[in-house]
Chains A and B, each alone.
Chain A
Amino acid sequence: MDGDIEPDLEIRWLDECEVQVERDENNELWLICDGQRMKIGRLVRLLPLTDKSHYISVLDTDGREIGIIRDLQNIEPASRAILWEELERIYMMPKIKRVRRIRHEKASGGMVWEVETDIGAMELHIPNTDNIYKARYPRIFIIDEDGRRYEIPNCDALDSRSRRLLARYF
């Protein structure tokens, strides 16, 4: 495989060098790798739903990929804490603990879920059932009409009323 891909297409694994991450007074993140100091434009989890702590792509301010962190465990603790905090901020995904009510909106054909999450009560406006991802059942992902993501970590472990309300969707 390796021989088929040109050298510039090779992956630069950041955890193979002495990588450090700093946060400056403007709350900007900086990456120091092999003596180079670069401003981080974006952090991207390559597998945000299935593997949160591996394969983190680090992009510069022009959107070019600086490299990929294979495993956050390979990063020194202080830098890891900064990265983790930033990633959790970017990928904040409320966890649904209880479904109180589901209303169907005749006009739009969508539905409104009244739920309790780990960050409080919410109303989710869901355009249609395609926005309910069941491929990793019993772990369910929901995307509301604004593209925000929510997670039911285990829909079988919900209380009986919630399960009854959700039964027609799963």
Chain B
Amino acid sequence: MSLIGRLISFLRPYAWQAILGLTLAVTLTWLSLVPPMLMRILIDDAIMKHNRVLLLWLTIALLGVYLASTLLSMVRNYLMAWLGQRVLYDLRTRLYEHVANLDMSFFEARRSGQIMSRITGDVTALEQFIVHNVPSILIDLITLVGIAIVLFRTNVHLALIALLPAPLLAILTVYYRELAIVVYRRLWNVIAEMHSFLIETLSGIKVIQCFNQEEREVKRFRGRCERIVRSNLDAARLSTLFFPTMGFISTFGLMLVWWIGGNQVLDGQITIGVLTMFTMYLRQFYVPVQNLTYLNDVWQRTAAAAERVFEILDTKPEIEQPSQPIKLGELKGEVVFDRVSFSYNGNGKQDDGALALRDISLKVRPGETIGIVGRSGAGKTTLTALVARFYDPKEGRILIDGHDLRQLDLKALREKMGVVLQEPFLFHGTIYENIAYGRPNATMEEIIKAAKAANAHQFILNFPDAYDTYVGERGTKLSGGERQRISIARAILRDPKILILDEATSSVDSESEYAIQKALERLLKGRTTFAIAHRLSTLRNADRLIVLDSGRVVEMGTHEELMQRDGIYKRLVQIQAMLSNSLLNDNGNGKGDGDLDSSNESNAHNREGNDGSNGNASRA
């Protein structure tokens, strides 16, 4: 389907409203052709012949035409606004729905600011085109044809003179189009860059302030704004040169008509009423001509926006739901890696160096806890991402309860999975809503139980609004430990059979860590668990530990077994113990037990309720 056809297809659900809008537009166009004709009669037959009765009737007729135009315009404008909003809604929700179902590789290849620009700005440009520009093209064409017929029937000589500027207008438009493509594409790119920059710096504002980099970031922002200014000025320069020039050329045609038509009046070849009518029509004639030349500019923007929007809509997720998915019943939780290799860059077969995982074979029993250990970049997170099927292996296969992951119903599979990340993501909503995120229909009783199991209930009670407390954007009103416990409650409520813990305790203080460890112990019971941790002490109770190095499993066994070997695990444990002791010696106090991280448990929230009352109580 052509680009225009594809765009217009968004009107299909509102076909009747669109037809009504178009009918009204055509009616209004025809009505706009009536006044010049009436003016001709008014001048030639009423004023010049002193016919007062005719003058009165013609004035009333003109008033009626203008009144009808006004009323119909009101109806049409509202209808178009309604249609515009419906199309905008459809476009935006369809795009977001599609984006929400795309896999990780899509988001890794694009900055979120660019995606945002497409969902906000580009979609609005498309709505403008579909709802406002397309009808306007039709109206302009009808106006042009209608007026051309009247002009040629009235005076062929004058009509031909009026059309003299047309070839020049066409040449200029083609030239402008070539330049406009480059300018508007660059403008969009710099605006998208600014969006990305804002998203990045606003979400990392703490780091910026901690490192005193405010000035540098402001300077960088200024640089981006200057590029936008320059690009906009380039576009403005082009427009300011082009459009007034087009206007002048059109007016030149009108001046010629006044000169030649005026002479024809003086020679008695035509009446003054005819010349007035002719010039009135000509003014109406040049408006659509100019509109159609602007249309080129609009089309350039629309085509660029459509290209970007359809690029997303046409992107097929690499992780696809199988055509005939196997429906899992009760999941036992056995996970088998069968000679699995994976690369983030295309097909890993050709370039062994690019492999993030190499030839992994591993059988995890239902309910078993597997601790995953290794240096940064060893492939720990990649391994768990494959279990959740955020990516598919390039070679080998992963089996869950004996079924290849690629043949399972994706949604059903993820329903059985729980994830607790190092930086838990909470949504801007209440604690209640965040715990219930994975099970919106959970009862309050289930939510309280999950919060209790996550050691979160007690601190929730201390908030003045308890479970109705708003956590702020990304949960910023809670401390790191509190956020983590809410995320564990969320996972508990989901009751997953397979659980992924990715550094779940590494960003919290020792006290929070203890509470979180206790909560995790409860969460782990009866679930197949993959736990990643740099703090090796937290993995001691794992049933088995696997050590990854450059994407390979190099060691496997219990903590005791691995400590008996002279391998990577033993060295990592020794290094952590050494560093821990060194901290103890330096400070005379420390966390010990391989605990290398200090925390930044923040007092992000105002706990006016800690005294046992709501904030209002003190005043009451």
**Which A residues form the contact surface with B (CB < 8 A)?**
1-2, 4-6, 9-11, 41-42, 44-50, 54-55, 57, 59, 63, 65, 68, 70, 89-93, 130, 133, 135, 143, 146-149
Most chain A beta-carbon neighbours within 10 Å: one of B444, B446, B495: B444
Taking CB atoms, residues of chain B closer than 8 Å to A44 are 461, 466
Taking CB atoms, residues of chain B closer than 8 Å to A55 are 444, 448, 467
Contact of A5 among B452, B612, B619, B620 (CB under 8 A): B452
Give 9 A-B contacts (CB < 8 Å), ordered by A residue: A11-B445, A41-B612, A44-B461, A46-B444, A46-B460, A68-B448, A90-B614, A135-B470, A147-B615
B195 adjacent to chain A (CB < 8 Å): no
Contact across chains for B466 and A46 when beta carbons are under 8 A apart: yes
Contact of B616 among A47, A50, A135, A148 (CB under 8 A): A148
Q: How far is the CA of A90 from the CA of B612 in the complex (A)?
A: 9
Cβ < 8 Å to A, chain B residues 378-431: 429-430
CB closest chain-A residue, reference B619: A148
Q: How far is the CA of A26 from the CA of B577 in the complex (A)?
A: 56
Taking CB atoms, residues of chain B closer than 8 Å to A45 are 466
Known: A5-B453, A9-B449, A42-B612. A90 touches B617 (CB 8 A): yes
Contact across chains for B613 and A46 when beta carbons are under 8 A apart: no
Taking CB atoms, residues of chain A closer than 8 Å to B617 are 89-92
Most chain B beta-carbon neighbours within 10 Å: one of A130, A148, A149: A148
Contact across chains for A1 and B615 when beta carbons are under 8 A apart: no
Contact across chains for B449 and A11 when beta carbons are under 8 A apart: yes
B432 adjacent to chain A (CB < 8 Å): yes
Contact of A93 among B467, B522, B526, B616 (CB under 8 A): B616
CB closest chain-B residue, reference A3: B526
Taking CB atoms, residues of chain A closer than 8 Å to B606 are 147
Q: How far is the CA of A147 from the CA of B312 in the complex (A)?
A: 45
**Which B residues form the contact surface with A (CB < 8 A)?**
429-430, 432, 444-446, 448-450, 452-453, 457-458, 460-461, 464-468, 470, 472, 492-493, 495, 522-523, 525-526, 606, 608, 612-617, 619-620
Q: How far is the CA of A170 from the CA of B429 in the complex (A)?
A: 17
**Nearest Cβ on chain B to A93's Cβ, whole angstroms:** 6
3 closest cross-chain pairs (CB), A and B: A147-B615, A49-B468, A42-B612
CB closest chain-A residue, reference B495: A1
Q: How far is the CA of A7 from the CA of B445 in the complex (A)?
A: 15
Taking CB atoms, residues of chain B closer than 8 Å to A10 are 449
Q: How far is the CA of A149 from the CA of B620 in the complex (A)?
A: 12
6 further A-B contacts with Cβ under 8 Å, apart from A10-B449, A46-B444, A130-B472, are A44-B461, A46-B448, A55-B448, A57-B466, A68-B448, A148-B616
Taking CB atoms, residues of chain B closer than 8 Å to A1 are 446, 449-450, 493, 495
CB closest chain-A residue, reference B493: A1
CB closest chain-B residue, reference A87: B614
Q: How far is the CA of A144 from the CA of B57 in the complex (A)?
A: 68
**Nearest Cβ on chain A to B420's Cβ, whole angstroms:** 15
Contact across chains for B466 and A4 when beta carbons are under 8 A apart: no
CB closest chain-A residue, reference B527: A4
Q: How far is the CA of A170 from the CA of B107 in the complex (A)?
A: 32
**Nearest Cβ on chain B to A115's Cβ, whole angstroms:** 15
Known: A4-B492, A135-B429, A147-B608. A90 touches B452 (CB 8 A): no
Taking CB atoms, residues of chain A closer than 8 Å to B612 are 41-42, 59, 63
Contact of B620 among A46, A54, A92, A130 (CB under 8 A): A92
Q: How far is the CA of A147 from the CA of B463 in the complex (A)?
A: 11
**Nearest Cβ on chain B to A135's Cβ, whole angstroms:** 7
**Nearest Cβ on chain A to B443's Cβ, whole angstroms:** 10
Known: A46-B466, A135-B470. A5 touches B614 (CB 8 A): no
Contact across chains for A148 and B449 when beta carbons are under 8 A apart: no
Contact across chains for B616 and A91 when beta carbons are under 8 A apart: yes
Taking CB atoms, residues of chain A closer than 8 Å to B444 are 46-47, 54-55
Taking CB atoms, residues of chain B closer than 8 Å to A143 are 615
Q: How far is the CA of A45 from the CA of B616 in the complex (A)?
A: 14
Contact across chains for B453 and A9 when beta carbons are under 8 A apart: yes
Contact across chains for B466 and A47 when beta carbons are under 8 A apart: yes
Q: How far is the CA of A89 from the CA of B612 in the complex (A)?
A: 13
Q: How far is the CA of A5 from the CA of B525 in the complex (A)?
A: 9
Contact of B461 among A11, A57, A130, A133 (CB under 8 A): A57
Contact across chains for A49 and B465 when beta carbons are under 8 A apart: yes
Taking CB atoms, residues of chain A closer than 8 Å to B446 are 1
Q: How far is the CA of A151 from the CA of B514 in the complex (A)?
A: 39
Taking CB atoms, residues of chain A closer than 8 Å to B429 are 135
Contact across chains for A48 and B466 when beta carbons are under 8 A apart: yes
Q: How far is the CA of A45 from the CA of B467 in the complex (A)?
A: 9
Contact across chains for A48 and B461 when beta carbons are under 8 A apart: no
Contact of B449 among A5, A63, A70, A91 (CB under 8 A): A5
Known: A4-B526, A46-B467, A54-B444. A149 touches B616 (CB 8 A): yes
CB closest chain-B residue, reference A68: B448
Q: How far is the CA of A7 from the CA of B24 in the complex (A)?
A: 72
Contact across chains for B432 and A146 when beta carbons are under 8 A apart: no
Contact of B615 among A11, A46, A133, A146 (CB under 8 A): A146
Q: How far is the CA of A70 from the CA of B444 in the complex (A)?
A: 9
CB closest chain-A residue, reference B521: A6
Q: How far is the CA of A146 from the CA of B615 in the complex (A)?
A: 8
**Nearest Cβ on chain B to A17's Cβ, whole angstroms:** 17
Taking CB atoms, residues of chain A closer than 8 Å to B526 are 4
Q: How far is the CA of A143 from the CA of B608 in the complex (A)?
A: 12
**Nearest Cβ on chain A to B218's Cβ, whole angstroms:** 19
Taking CB atoms, residues of chain B closer than 8 Å to A65 are 457-458, 461
**Nearest Cβ on chain A to B453's Cβ, whole angstroms:** 5
CB closest chain-A residue, reference B466: A46
CB closest chain-A residue, reference B453: A5
Q: How far is the CA of A30 from the CA of B26 in the complex (A)?
A: 79
CB closest chain-A residue, reference B523: A4
Taking CB atoms, residues of chain A closer than 8 Å to B445 are 11, 70
Known: A5-B453, A91-B616, A92-B616. A147 touches B464 (CB 8 A): yes
Taking CB atoms, residues of chain A closer than 8 Å to B466 are 44-48, 57
Taking CB atoms, residues of chain B closer than 8 Å to A91 are 614, 616-617
**Nearest Cβ on chain B to A50's Cβ, whole angstroms:** 6
CB closest chain-A residue, reference B620: A92
Contact across chains for A4 and B614 when beta carbons are under 8 A apart: no
Contact across chains for A90 and B449 when beta carbons are under 8 A apart: no
Q: How far is the CA of A5 from the CA of B524 in the complex (A)?
A: 11
Q: How far is the CA of A54 from the CA of B467 in the complex (A)?
A: 12
Taking CB atoms, residues of chain B closer than 8 Å to A90 are 613-614, 616-617, 620
Taking CB atoms, residues of chain A closer than 8 Å to B495 are 1, 4
Contact of B432 among A41, A47, A70 (CB under 8 A): A47
